Amino acid sequence: MGFLPISREDMAAQGIGQLDFVYVIGDAYVDHPSFGHAIISRVLQANGYSVGIISQPDWRDENSIAILGRPRLAFLVTSGNMDSMVNHYYVSGRHRTKDAYTPGGEPYRRPDHAAVVYGNLIRRVYKDVPVILGGIEASLRRMAHYDYWSDSFKRSILLDSQADLISYGMGERSIVEIADALAGGIEVKDITFVAGTVYKTKNIEDVYDGEALPSYEEMKADKAKYAESFWKQYCNTDPFTGKTLTEEYPNGVYVVQNPPAKPLTVQEMDAVYDLPYMRAYHPSYEARGGVPAVSEVKFSLVSNRGCFGGCNFCALTFHQGRIVQVRSHESIVREAEQMTNDPDFKGYIHDVGGPTANFRHPSCEKQMTRGVCKDRQCLFPKPCPNLTVDHADYLALLRRLRALPKVKKVFIRSGIRFDYLMADKDDTFFRELAEYHISGQLKVAPEHISDAVLDRLGKPKREVYERFVKKYHRINEQLGRKQFLVPYLMSSHPGSTLKEAIELAEYVRDLGYMPEQVQDFYPTPSTVSTVMYYTGIDPRDGSPVYVCRNPHERAMQRALIQYRDPENYELVKEALIKGGREDLIGFDKKCLIRPRRMAGEGKKVRGSGAAAKERAKRQGALRDKQTQKSGKKKTIRNIHKKKGGRQS
């Protein structure tokens, strides 16, 4: 079938005089189902609509948005697979030097707050063409929200972008319903009935059964009001029980959020992933070195979407929802067979998973008819009595994939939820995971080991992780395998003081190596943790939360986890003194660092005078160097970067 048109020449070659939709995207054009723009455009095409792609337009040039002409129905806009601000900046504010979603990894090819900039660019050129936002940036900013990068409280992105609608979450259902309404002659201002959309109105009396959130002005003046509003939104993210929410702005404008779209059935998921994707980046990027992000997904398989894990720092609840949706074995195997015929395939399937790899069904039977619980989580603080714990379906899928001709190994690289794994009384999956699906090391995400911080994170208690570690090592020993665990750890999450940071450093000390992957807490829009960071309030119960906002303290908390790095010495020393833990500075094996100025003392030095002092100095320096070298030997190297990066 070929790629979608990216130029007038392509349109002419495909016999298209005017496109139904022009899709403006912040990423390179990659026609692969791991890219949201590919799914939405192919779904529209399957429903009879023509779609053209404008990738990474020059936002300083109005002509860049007109290269495909005026669309018949609407412009679609997405900033890309990542929030453009997360894509651009480290949590420190330093600009990233590479963009994996741009040809050649070149940075700066999209603007900050790309969805807002693109929306305004379109509106300047085409004043009366409907503009519809989608993707993760729009989805997580659909209502008033805290913006970490400007340290300000922002309006709904719908208003700032001058768009007409937001299709939030996974938009396959809503985009087709919007397209059909526009094609049927309904004006965009009257499309107020589609689940999974956000619109604006001045006629609030027309909103049926709406539930009012605090107004934008109230939230801007009182952070507690924002915490209250967010929790009400969080409790209405379920498609079966969610209500219509309204948010008032000055001048009588209301932003209205309809309940989420219903989850896709297995058959509908199969239909989406069986569409005729080219499964590659556009050939025009070849000369620039291709698109780096493709290598992470080219030989990976999407098994599911949605997550009932409920981690507070993760935005999945707001974007994909808590109800797990899956593809059939047959659909996944068909894709795998197609993958094995690729000339570049070397026999290794890199991943079979999703947000959480070992979730292959809803958490309990009632979810697909009555929705998820508003007042409880499935796994936190401990597994719900109604939780269905069963790895049989996932195990059967992995066995089928392992048995395919040309397949040497099937890896699992997306997250394994270890507390769910520990809740399974049948160890068959655990054993086969260790035997067949790990490449020397398994990455898991305890995030922290202080129960006080884990509670704020929405993660299980420390003892659950420790039981998992023991079981993992026991199973590997039984299998005769020497495989490691690589824990993802997070510093400076709300609730973490220097006391908890030091507690985590002591845990790392006892592990015997220094983790190279440490994530400073990154306050991204629409997470429970970000609300804590901004307001100092836990929105779940209104309790106050300690928040580490000072950049220097954040640096100390991170340095403590990597205390063996010589460059972190002064920060670690300062943190230990401030935390009242000078007992961890010394020569005992339990100490984190040694007192540097004592390195050459306590030894008899031959000779006297300047020469003796110089020898002592050299001996001390040598011991310091040996200590550093010893620590470095224990460091785990070359940790594989998690696919797509973590946004939360």
User: What would the pLDDT profile of 277-291 be if each residue is shown by its tens digit?
Assistant: 999 999 999 999 999
Query: pLDDT above 90 covers what percent of the chain?
Result: 87
User: pLDDT class for 368, splitting at 50, 70, 90?
Assistant: confident
Q: Give the pLDDT score at 612.
A: 43
Taking 70 as the threshold, does the pLDDT of residue 583 lie above it? yes
Q: What is the pLDDT of residue 512?
A: 85
Summarize the confidence of residues 204-218 as an average pLDDT: 96
420 sits in which H/E element: helix 418-422
Q: Give the mean model confidence (pLDDT) for residues 637-646.
A: 36
What are the boundaries of each domain within the chain? Answer: 8-194, 299-439, 464-648
Residue by residue, what is the 3-state secondary structure of 464-494?
A: HHHHHHHHHHHHHHHHCCCCEEEEEEEECCC
Kindly give the interhelix angle for 266-273 and 36-46, rounded to the nearest 10 degrees. Answer: 100
Question: What is the spatial distance between Cα 243 and Cα 257, in angstroms, rounded to a whole number?
Answer: 9
User: Comparing C-alpha atoms, which of 389, 386, 379, 391 is closest to residue 353?
Assistant: 391
Model pLDDT, residue 597: 66
Identify which of 177, 110, 168, 106 has the alpha carbon closest to the alpha carbon of residue 134: 168
Does 620 score more than 80 pLDDT?
no
Q: Cα 527 vs. chain centroid, distance in angstroms?
A: 11
pLDDT in tens, 374-415: 888 999 999 999 999 999 999 999 999 999 999 999 999 988
Longest pairwise C-alpha distance within the chain = 98
Separation of alpha carbons 366 and 202, rounded Å: 38
How far is it, in rounded angstroms, from Cα 400 to Cα 528?
Answer: 39
Check pLDDT > 60 for residue 147: yes
pLDDT at 600 over 90: no
The pLDDT of residue 625 is above 60: no
pLDDT at 479: 96
pLDDT band at 596 (very low <50, low <70, confident <90, very high): confident
Q: Is the pLDDT of residue 587 over 90?
A: yes
Q: Kindly report the average pLDDT of the chain as a whole number.
A: 92
Least confidently predicted of 19-33, 303-317, 356-370: 356-370
Q: CATH for 299-439, among 3.30.365.10, 3.40.50.300, 3.40.220.10, 3.30.750.210?
A: 3.30.750.210
- Answer yes or no: CATH 1.10.260.40 is held by domain 8-194: no
Q: What is the pLDDT of residues 152-204, one digit of tens each?
A: 999 999 999 999 999 999 999 999 999 999 999 999 999 999 999 999 999 99
Q: Is the pLDDT of residue 602 over 50?
A: no
User: Does position 637 have pLDDT exceeding 70, yes or no?
Assistant: no
Instruction: State residue 404's pLDDT score.
Output: 98
Angle at 98 between CA 92 and CA 100, to 5 degrees: 115
> Is residue 435's pLDDT more than 50?
yes
Report helix, strand or coil for 514.
coil
How many other C-beta atoms are found inside a 10 Å radius of the C-beta of residue 126?
18
HEC letters along 561-587? HCCCCHHHHHHHHHHHHHCCCHHHECC
List the structure tokens of 640.
């594989």
What pLDDT sits at residue 1?
74
The pLDDT-based confidence of 56 (bands split at 50, 70, 90) is: very high
pLDDT number for residue 466: 97
* Structure confidence at residue 154 (pLDDT): 98
Strand 131-133 relative to strand 518-520, pairing: unpaired
pLDDT for 513 equals 78
pLDDT band for position 614 (cuts 50, 70, 90): low
